[in-house]
């Protein structure tokens, strides 16, 4: 497609008469030699990689991992490998639930790259389906600890809003009007007041993207 060719040109894959051209809008000239190099296709299936894991629990059906901050959960744009999924495929010898697809085998829920915490991963399809139902019915309690700027007032409460993509910055999540986004509920309590900050415990009823961060800012 034209979009694919434009992307290749932006990646310095086009050479005109021996000179690399990165501007897809540059004018064409007759009599010149154009060479466009198309890279070999990459496998769409996540590959096993020997990455150290902190395993809290494991049996034949599921595995619970303490994910460190900085580790991406599954392959995505900009993170082709070096993820938790790559590490799990190595540890479990490829025996993970296939329901999540080739890029997300076994993944039932996620936490952000820079968030640390426990993740439960399904090794069997039966476990995946069962865990997914528990999450959907809010029968699994999820608690997060966050250090926030300032001290919440009141010190404990419930935040109920709609969350979705920010209308001013599509890369960020934000609180939206009632008729937009997805319903999100966070129960919070201040554990300890610090110097101009506070340690807050957040219990989630829903699991929206960046929910803790958005609700604490709100």
139 catalytic? Reply is no
Which strand (E) or helix (H) includes residue 62? strand 62-67
Which residues are bridge partners to 67 per DSSP?
A: 117
Instruction: Please choose, from the candidates 154, 165, 150, the residue with its C-alpha nearest in 3D space to the C-alpha of residue 188.
Output: 154
Among residues 98, 101, 166, the alpha carbon closest in space to that of 127 is found at 98
Two structure tokens written together for 175: 């609180």
Among residues 112, 114, 125, 139, which one is catalytic? 112
Q: Phi and psi at residue 142, in whole multiples of 5°?
A: -115, 125
Q: Which residues are catalytic?
A: 112
């Amino acid at each position: 497609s034209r979009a694919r060719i434009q992307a290749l040109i932006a990646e310095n894959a086009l050479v005109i008469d021996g000179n690399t051209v990165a501007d897809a809008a540059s004018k064409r000239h007759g009599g010149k030699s154009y060479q466009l190099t198309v890279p070999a296709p990459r496998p769409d299936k996540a590959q096993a990689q020997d990455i150290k894991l902190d395993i809290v629990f494991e049996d034949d059906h599921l595995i619970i991992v303490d994910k460190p901050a900085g580790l991406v959960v599954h392959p995505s744009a900009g993170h082709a490998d070096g993820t938790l999924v790559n590490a799990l495929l190595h540890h479990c010898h490829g025996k993970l639930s296939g329901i999540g697809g080739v890029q997300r085998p076994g993944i039932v829920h996620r936490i952000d790259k820079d968030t640390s915490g426990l993740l439960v991963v399904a090794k069997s399809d039966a476990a995946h389906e069962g865990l997914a139902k528990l999450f959907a019915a809010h029968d699994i309690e999820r608690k997060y600890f966050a250090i926030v700027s300032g001290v919440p007032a009141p010190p404990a409460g419930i935040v109920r809003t709609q969350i979705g993509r920010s209308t001013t910055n599509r890369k960020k999540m934000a609180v939206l009007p009632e008729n937009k986004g997805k319903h999100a509920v966070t129960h919070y309590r201040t554990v300890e007041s610090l110097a101009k900050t506070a340690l807050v415990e957040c219990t989630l009823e829903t699991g929206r993207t960046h929910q803790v961060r958005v609700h604490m800012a709100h």
